[in-house]
A and B are shown apart, each in its own frame.
Chain A
């Protein structure tokens, strides 16, 4: 007995023949015999519990984050692969149930600090989108002309350099139009390869747009100045949720957690060294998580066994370990025209939503794991990230707050917290590009993009 326990428990606690025992007066006298605990190797539920507890202790006591991640994903078993960009019908409902996410349409109202900068003059914009801007109101510091200047002030910076910084919409619009025109009109490229339309024009346009906007706005947002821009990074996350019985194989009949893995490749992502502020408090309840009675494989989802990766875009040693914004490009397979032809117009928005929810959950959860949290050690502060999903013309904006990582069967029972995702429908940025000019440019979408990029913690 002593030998089997000795593998796990420290020796000096068991040597009741030694003299050190006498120096511990609080021990009751019946500790002459070691405590009777369940076996660790027997085929019993108690033994399984003990093994699980031992595993949890090992992960808790891991020396470094890399070691913790290594132990967390050490055991490889078949798992469901979740694809954020999927053609499955109503995938966003399924993804919400796998990740315990509540979806709130529309974007969250911005923090009070931002609202204080634009006291009352953001009326036209506030009517259109619920999010007030950080510094967009050019007339914020100019009391005399709040009402009349509001409609035009967004377009032309006639207001002399005020103390409060204002955003030059004309400049931003010209940047965006230039990027668009260069990629689609001016640069002579070969014809796009078959089914690779997205790499030909919208991909480079998005890269250009984001890099020039980020450079333009980094004076406004010091967080961007310390940020790291990744092109086509990899984001992975592995988690357990729910239980199932193993169907076939040598482990048939055993009860196993359902394992999921997301392997995502956003087009572009911005990582920052400081975390974005929380949008709502940790314990808020803004809706319901859908419950789906079917097996995940009915979505359709397929199982595979391979390395369990948790990765945000760079390794743990990188100082930019928090996420700011991701940009996703919808591939050719999921174009709007294809859905329209198949009479599935309502699924177009589902594609954007599923992409936003799954990618952001993976990213924020991986960020949380990089800080040492996991499903037994739940997050103590919410992790917030943003994403923009686009197909080159239509843009949809998402905002995600991770409140809990505890999704396994044992930890989800007493866990009232839910993750929250805010999102918009997809809106076009422009109507058409012809003859060297952009027709029907939509300032609202650009403004929302700029607001996303300007998001920063309150201290900055």
Chain B
């Protein structure tokens, strides 16, 4: 997407709020969750993914990005000791989504393999209060005239509007029916093959919207309307070092017009988990300047990751 998040906002009729929403922040700040104990574990996970996991000297991004993700999810899952309802989650890999909607007479569709989805049995409660939702009515979606909002989108002749996660991805009766979090791993080795942070955020927004829309259509039918019970889908994107966190709340499926209640998204972007991972010691003139290891570790990023994981069950 050319304009990145701004374009995605227009396409999905969304208002952007910087930072994470208050319920998630309260999970982070709540000392009862003991998020600090995991620092050691996180450092070990990073070292394992970036330094130790290969017989070569340094692992490639294709290798360490998924390994880091798996290790972090493993750490998060171990929290289910304290919160038994965390076991009611299921990861679905290679997951396909398709959702269609109309936006000012342009038919848009989101489709494709979108990374890893975590489903849960219980939906996430809405994060924005009713007043905030109503306040979005006055918000005007920014357009970027003269660039058309559909620039960089592939125009395809769609003959069948496939619409729901229910039919195309999961069958009826699936117990873990609520999409909880989407994970995107930018793990291509070469930089041009990876998404830039801005584009990654836009992709996260589009897919989160697609999942939420599909779920709304399953729950409430195909008519466009304002939802009394908004649907919340979270999203985390990373390239192995930089993390983007996003919480999306679908307030309305009435997307044809540009007025009225908008959807909301909270984005926390460009969070570094660590500054640098030194695989071999940096040696200048026979003196070791920087021994091998992880530098610039920031525990807050993992706290946010864990808070997003726990959101909805605590």
- Seen from chain A, the residues whose Cβ lies within 8 Å of a Cβ on chain B are 171, 175, 178-179, 182, 185-189, 204, 208, 211-212, 214-216, 218-219, 224-226, 228-231, 233-234, 236, 309, 311, 313-315, 317-320, 436
Partner of B174 from the list A186, A212, A214, A224 (CB cut-off 8 Å) is A186
**B74 and chain A: residue at smallest CB distance:** A229
A residues near B91, Cβ cutoff 8 Å: 208, 211
B55 interfacial contact with A, CB 8 Å: yes
A residues near B256, Cβ cutoff 8 Å: none
Q: A188-B96, A228-B71, A229-B70 are in contact. Are A218 and B81 (CB under 8 A)?
A: yes
A216 near B80 with CB under 8 A, answer yes
B80 near A215 with CB under 8 A, answer yes
Q: A175-B87, A178-B90 are in contact. Are A317 and B51 (CB under 8 A)?
A: yes
Within 8 A of A (CB), among B70-85: 70-71, 73-74, 77-78, 80-81
B92 interfacial contact with A, CB 8 Å: yes
B44 near A187 with CB under 8 A, answer no
Q: A314-B48, A315-B52, A317-B51 are in contact. Are A211 and B74 (CB under 8 A)?
A: yes
Q: A215-B77, A231-B70 are in contact. Are A309 and B55 (CB under 8 A)?
A: yes
Using A188-B171, A320-B44 as known contacts, list a sample of 14 further A-B pairs with CB atoms less than 8 Å apart, ordered by residue number in A.
Answer: A178-B90, A182-B174, A187-B170, A188-B96, A215-B77, A218-B78, A218-B81, A225-B81, A226-B41, A230-B53, A233-B53, A311-B55, A317-B47, A318-B52
A-B interface, 10 closest residue pairs, ranked by CB to CB distance from nearest: A215-B77, A219-B81, A314-B52, A315-B52, A186-B174, A318-B52, A229-B74, A215-B80, A186-B171, A186-B170
A189 near B90 with CB under 8 A, answer no
Partner of B44 from the list A178, A233, A319 (CB cut-off 8 Å) is A319
Shortest distance between the CB of A89 and any CB in chain B (Å): 32
A212 near B87 with CB under 8 A, answer yes
Q: A178-B176, A228-B48, A229-B70 are in contact. Are A215 and B92 (CB under 8 A)?
A: no
**B87 and chain A: residue at smallest CB distance:** A216
B192 interfacial contact with A, CB 8 Å: no
**A236 and chain B: residue at smallest CB distance:** B55
A211 near B87 with CB under 8 A, answer no
Cα distance, A234 to B63, chains bound together (Å): 12
Shortest distance between the CB of B313 and any CB in chain A (Å): 13
Cα distance, A219 to B173, chains bound together (Å): 31
Q: A182-B174, A212-B87 are in contact. Are A229 and B71 (CB under 8 A)?
A: yes
Shortest distance between the CB of B304 and any CB in chain A (Å): 20
B residues near A225, Cβ cutoff 8 Å: 78, 81
**A213 and chain B: residue at smallest CB distance:** B87
Number of interface residues of B (CB under 8 A): 36
Cα distance, A175 to B80, chains bound together (Å): 13
Q: A228-B71, A231-B70, A317-B51 are in contact. Are A187 and B77 (CB under 8 A)?
A: no
Cα distance, A182 to B74, chains bound together (Å): 20
A215 near B176 with CB under 8 A, answer no
Cα distance, A187 to B119, chains bound together (Å): 12
Shortest distance between the CB of B250 and any CB in chain A (Å): 23
A residues near B52, Cβ cutoff 8 Å: 314-315, 317-318
B94 near A188 with CB under 8 A, answer no
Pairs across A and B, CB under 8 Å, 30 listed? A178-B90, A178-B175, A182-B92, A182-B174, A182-B176, A186-B173, A187-B92, A187-B170, A208-B90, A211-B73, A212-B77, A212-B87, A212-B90, A215-B77, A215-B80, A215-B86, A215-B87, A218-B80, A219-B81, A225-B81, A228-B74, A229-B70, A309-B55, A311-B55, A313-B53, A315-B53, A317-B47, A318-B47, A318-B48, A436-B171
